[in-house]
Amino acid sequence: MLLLPSAVIVFGVIFYPVLRTLIISFFEVNSAVPITTPFVGVRNYSDIFGNADFWSSIGRTLYFTIGSTVLELVLGMGLALLLNAPIKLRWLFRAIVVLPWALPTVVNGAMWKGVFNAQYGSLNALLTQLHLIHAYKLWLGTPHSAMNSLIIADVWKTTPLVAFFLLAGLQGIPSEIYESVRVDGAGSVRAFFSITLPLLIPSISIVLILRTIDAFKVFDLVYVLTGGGPADGTQTIAYFTYVQAFSDQRFGYGSALATVIVACILVLSAIYLRLLRRDEMSLL
Amino acid sequence: MTATTENVPTPAAPAETPRRAPKRRSVKGGSTRYHVFVNVMALIVSLIILAPFAWMVIASVESPADLIRVPYHWIPAHLDFSRYRDIIEGKGTDVARAFRSSVLNSIIVAAGTVIVAITVGIFGAYAFAMLKFRFRRATLVIFLVTYMLPPIALLIPLYLIMSSLGLLDSKLGLVIIYSSYVTPFVLWILSNYFLTIPRELEEAARVDGCSRMGALFRVMLPVARPGLFATIMFAFLLSWDEFLYALIFTSTPNAETIPVAIANFAGRYSTDFGLVAAGGLIASVPPVLLAIAFQRFIVDGLSAGAVKG
């Protein structure tokens, strides 16, 4: 009974659309107010899997996911250790670290678009004044460098979140364990690799799964920073779907794409929930 | 008695120091070199985090000519606050006017969403945490999975539905959609918070004659207040940040939220980055202040299984 209001709101707005997405994906719908919507069976799906653009957008999504997640995990680990360390003005440091996480994603994208700008961007200004480059560069000019810029912008914003996740895990490690290791004469580097890292594996795997799910959804940053360009070089899967469905008005095809994404995300979510349950979650 | 204890703080202090010092030393080696190292690292990290943000602040108060000067001067010769004035007073260019209305839209939509999601979420979370019923786990998992679904998967049918209901480009439409997206999240976090409250507290209230609702409102909510505030903050951030739905479902300053306005100007008016920077900074004020105020809840919230990306 108490759940009813939540159920109405969530499922009313989610279940029906999900079903509808699934249904539309078997039709050819080329307008918001279509005149005819011929049933095409699985043709939308066979079109997807036969489309080279789809596979390259999957490739880009993977590149983005692996690049950003690896960097965020490594840097986030360091940041979590720093957040846990006895530093001066700790509250100020924490407030600074929270900043990128709190910044709206779109603002983050707009900010980095300015930083990478070819005419007035601060990255160009900084690097020329340090004599590291001779002339201003088009950072967003080639597909490859635009993709890397995208990863940098994402790493700047998301590393604090990863660090907070890992910090939560770090704080759960009892300090007696470290004491016993010290008694055994291990240095702090050894202690990190033999104690901290293994004990953080649950937190790390949760971060990995969540970041992968997010990468399938990444849209805002791409939209603002590169607009999917240049030469579609930064079109990740969510952006590709958006272009197909809304720019090209191919709603049937777009729905089939969305269904493929949902299938991937459901698999990842299942892994995530399994991990959470192992993580002494009494609710699950 | 109290006067004497206050007058002799010295015996207490040494007792305190040795208790703490070995703990730190045992964890990290405790040498001065280590302390210098972490502090220097913290300083470097802070600078890296602050650098792009600080430049955005500078760009927002710098004249357009100074902004595009090569070689660039990092400290502007004179400060130009006209962009902020234009946005706040809603005059000058169309851009400034649209920014102003989008900020108002964002506030209305986020507030509406938070109210709906928290109200229904409180009841649902109470049910998950305190009641035993069939399929409890399965229901919770379904709620969590809906939160994981990418907006892009719901976008097409929602667009068709909203256009047939005439809810395109309306704040009400956005509140409805956002509530469905924020509620599972609220349910998840709040039920985890409720779970940390000792059951005996609720049972005692029931024994004293409170109804279930009475126990919820008189006992549970006051005890869970910190968690409730943190959840409100997370819910607010989620709806303030949302972009894809807002992009598709709004098209005029009538309902455009701040992320949409910024995205539009970052694309269309890339000549004056300063104006985008000023708008972006204004859009960042509420979430950044909230996050700093509630930062100690972030770690707790995340360990409770928060799933904000």
CATH number at residue B102: 1.10.3720.10
Kindly indicate the confidence band of residue B271, based on its pLDDT and cuts at 50, 70 and 90. Answer: low
Exposure pattern of A122-143 as b/e (b: 16+ CB <10 Å)?
Answer: bbbbbbbeeeeeeebbebbeeb
Distance CA A266, CA A270 (A): 6
pLDDT value of position A247: 81
The tens digit of pLDDT for each residue in A193-249 reads: 877 888 888 788 878 888 888 878 889 899 988 888 788 888 888 899 888 888 888
Q: Is B263 in the A-facing interface, judged by CB distances under 8 Å?
A: yes
pLDDT value of position B197: 78
The helix/strand/coil state of B305 is: coil
Average pLDDT of the residues in B62-86:
79
Name the stretches of chain A with pLDDT < 50: 280-282, 284
Q: Quick check: B35 and A214 CB within 8 A?
A: no
The helix/strand/coil state of A240 is: helix
Task: Specify if A162 maps to a domain.
Answer: yes
Task: Specify if B166 maps to a domain.
Answer: yes
Kindly indicate the confidence band of residue B11, based on its pLDDT and cuts at 50, 70 and 90. Answer: very low
Distance CA A83, CA A103 (A): 19
Distance CA A122, CA A243 (A): 31
Contacts of B128 in chain A (CB under 8 A): 3, 283
Q: Are residues B129 and B220 in the same domain?
A: yes
What is the amino acid identity at position B252?
A: T
Residues 6+ apart with CB under 8 A from A31: A249, A251
Nearest to A188 by CA among A197, A180, A198, A178: A178
Q: Quick check: A96 and B50 CB within 8 A?
A: yes
Q: What angle do CA B24, B28, B33 make, to 5 degrees?
A: 105
Cβ-in-10-Å burial (0-12, 13-18, 19+) of A248 comes to exposed
Residues 6+ apart with CB under 8 A from A103: A111, A157, B53, B284, B287, B288
Quick check: B267 pLDDT over 80?
A: no
- Which residue in B53, B158, B308 is closest to A99 by CB distance? B53
pLDDT value of position B44: 92
Task: Specify if B91 maps to a domain.
Answer: yes
B235 CA to centre of own chain: 7
Q: Are residues B127 and B276 in the same domain?
A: yes
Give the range of the structural domain holding residue A76, as residue numbers without chain letter: 29-278
Q: How many domains does one find in chain B?
A: 2
pLDDT value of position B292: 85
Q: Are residues B16 and B145 in the same domain?
A: no
Nearest to A99 by CA among A108, A87, A110: A108
Q: Are residues B8 and B66 in the same domain?
A: yes
Kindly indicate the confidence band of residue B28, based on its pLDDT and cuts at 50, 70 and 90. Answer: very low
Task: Specify if B309 maps to a domain.
Answer: no
pLDDT value of position B269: 57
Average pLDDT of the residues in B92-97:
71
**Pair B274, B69: CB distance under 8 Å:** no
Distance CA A42, CA A59 (A): 23
Q: Are residues B131 and B274 in the same domain?
A: yes
- Which residue in A111, A128, A219 is closest to B52 by CB distance? A111
Q: State the CATH number of the domain containing residue A136.
A: 1.10.3720.10
Give the range of the structural domain holding residue B41, as residue numbers without chain letter: 2-80
197-236 in B: which are within 8 Å (CB) of A? none
Q: Is B288 in the A-facing interface, judged by CB distances under 8 Å?
A: yes
Interface test with B, best of A13, A173, A213, A267 (most B CBs within 10 A): A13
Task: Specify if B65 maps to a domain.
Answer: yes
Nearest CA in chain B to A31: B160
Residues 6+ apart with CB under 8 A from B233: B290, B291, B293, B294, B297
pLDDT value of position B30: 54
Q: Is B165 in the A-facing interface, judged by CB distances under 8 Å?
A: no
Where a domain ends, among B20, B52, B80?
B80
**Which residues on adjacent β-strands are paired with residue A39?**
A27
Q: Are residues B214 and B275 in the same domain?
A: yes
State residue A39 phi and psi, 5-degree precision: -75, 125
Q: Are residues B68 and B132 in the same domain?
A: no
The tens digit of pLDDT for each residue in A248-277 reads: 888 888 888 888 888 888 888 788 777 766
pLDDT value of position B308: 37
Q: Give B284→chain A minimum CA distance, Å.
A: 6
Q: Are residues B244 and B102 in the same domain?
A: yes
Q: Is B161 in the A-facing interface, judged by CB distances under 8 Å?
A: yes
Task: Specify if A124 maps to a domain.
Answer: yes
The tens digit of pLDDT for each residue in B104-128 reads: 999 999 999 999 999 988 888 888 8
Q: How many domains does one find in chain A?
A: 1
Task: Specify if B308 maps to a domain.
Answer: no
Residues 6+ apart with CB under 8 A from B277: A110, A111, A114, B56, B57, B59, B60
Quick check: B291 pLDDT over 60?
A: yes
Q: Are residues B175 and B123 in the same domain?
A: yes
The tens digit of pLDDT for each residue in B177-224 reads: 898 888 888 888 888 778 777 777 777 887 787 777 777 777 778 877
Q: Are residues B179 and B269 in the same domain?
A: yes
pLDDT value of position B246: 92
Q: Give B304→chain A minimum CA distance, Å.
A: 9
Task: Specify if A6 maps to a domain.
Answer: no
- Which residue in B28, B152, B265 is closest to A85 by CB distance? B28
Q: Quick check: B299 and A164 CB within 8 A?
A: yes
B97 CA to centre of own chain: 26
Distance CA A236, CA A54 (A): 9
Distance CA A7, CA A2 (A): 9
Q: Are residues B182 and B226 in the same domain?
A: yes
Distance CA A196, CA A199 (A): 5
The helix/strand/coil state of B62 is: coil
Distance CA A28, CA A23 (A): 11
Where a domain ends, among B35, B52, B80?
B80
pLDDT value of position B112: 95
Q: Quick check: A109 and B266 CB within 8 A?
A: yes
Percentage of chain B modeled with pLDDT above 70: 84
